[in-house]
Chains A and B, each alone.
Chain A
Amino acid sequence: MRQETEPGRPQQPPALEAARRGDPGAFDQVVRPLLGSLLALARRLAGEAAGEDLLQEGLLRAWRGLAGFREETTFRAWVAGILFRLSREPRRFRPRPERAAAARAIPDRLDPDPLLKASARELLDRVEQALERLPAPQRTALHLRAIEGWGYAEIAAALETSAGAARTAVFAARRRLRARMGDLL
Chain B
Amino acid sequence: MKTTRTPACPWEDRVLQAFLEGTPAGDAGVVAAHLEECPECRKALDQSRALDALLASRARTEISEAQADRLLAFLERPAAARPRRRPALRLLPVLAGLLALALLLPGRREPREQVALAAAPAEVGRPEPGLPQLAGLLASRSLAVSDSYRLPPPVEVPSPGPELLLAAFCGRPDPALGEARLAQEAAKILAAADPLEPGPLAMAAVDWLLDRIQAGALPTRRALEPGRLLLEAEDEARWELVRLFRLRPVLLRKLAGLPLGQEPELAPLHGALGNEAALPALAAGGEERQLAAVRGAWRTGDEQAARFVLALFLKAALRSTAQERAGAEWVLAMPGPMAELLLPELARRALGERRHPERTLCKRLLEALRGELSAAGS
Spell out A's residues near B (CB within 8 Å). 22, 24-25, 27-28, 31-32, 35-37, 39-40, 43, 49, 52-53, 55-57, 59-60, 63-64, 89-92, 96, 100, 102-103, 105-111, 114-115, 118, 123-124, 127, 142, 146-147, 149, 168, 170-172, 174-175, 177-179, 181, 185
Q: In the complex, what residues of A have CB within 8 A of residue B17's CB? A: 170-171, 174-175
When chains A and B are docked, how far (Å) is the Cα of A28 from the Cα of B341? 32
Q: In the complex, what residues of A have CB within 8 A of residue B104's CB? A: none
Q: Do A146 and B75 form a contact, CB below 8 Å, given A36-B61, A102-B279, A107-B345?
A: no
Interface residues of B in 23-64 (CB under 8 A from A): 44, 46-48, 50-52, 54-58, 60-63
Contact B1 A102 (CB under 8 A): no
Interface residues of B in 323-357 (CB under 8 A from A): 341, 343-345, 347-348, 351-352
When chains A and B are docked, how far (Å) is the Cα of A74 from the Cα of B44? 33
B128 interfacial by beta-carbon distance below 8 Å: no
Q: Do A92 and B56 form a contact, CB below 8 Å, given A107-B348, A171-B17, A181-B51?
A: no
When chains A and B are docked, how far (Å) is the Cα of A100 from the Cα of B58? 19
Contact A49 B75 (CB under 8 A): no
B308-324 vs A, Cβ < 8 Å mask (1 yes, 0 no): 00110011000000000
Contact A90 B166 (CB under 8 A): yes
B4 interfacial by beta-carbon distance below 8 Å: yes
When chains A and B are docked, how far (Å) is the Cα of A142 from the Cα of B74? 31
In the complex, the chain A residue whose C-beta lies closest to that of B208 is A91
Q: In the complex, what residues of B have CB within 8 A of residue A170's CB? A: 17
Q: How many A-B residue pairs have CB under 8 A?
A: 146
B8 interfacial by beta-carbon distance below 8 Å: no
Q: In the complex, what residues of A have CB within 8 A of residue B348's CB? A: 107, 114
Contact B351 A89 (CB under 8 A): no
Q: In the complex, what residues of A have CB within 8 A of residue B102's CB? A: none
Q: Do A53 and B74 form a contact, CB below 8 Å, given A64-B83, A90-B207, A109-B344?
A: no
A117 CB → nearest B CB, Å: 9
Interface residues of B in 295-315 (CB under 8 A from A): 307, 310-311, 314-315
Secondary structure type dominating chain A contacts: helix
Contact B71 A59 (CB under 8 A): yes
Contact B55 A147 (CB under 8 A): yes
Q: In the complex, what residues of A have CB within 8 A of residue B68's CB? A: 32, 35
B364 interfacial by beta-carbon distance below 8 Å: no
| Residue from B47, B80, B275 in contact with A185 in the complex, judged by beta carbons closer than 8 Å | B47
B350 CB → nearest A CB, Å: 10
28 interchain pairs (CB within 8 A)? A22-B81, A24-B75, A24-B80, A24-B81, A40-B60, A43-B61, A49-B274, A49-B275, A56-B74, A59-B71, A59-B74, A63-B75, A90-B166, A90-B204, A92-B203, A105-B307, A106-B311, A107-B344, A108-B344, A115-B351, A127-B51, A146-B55, A168-B14, A172-B1, A174-B52, A175-B4, A185-B46, A185-B54
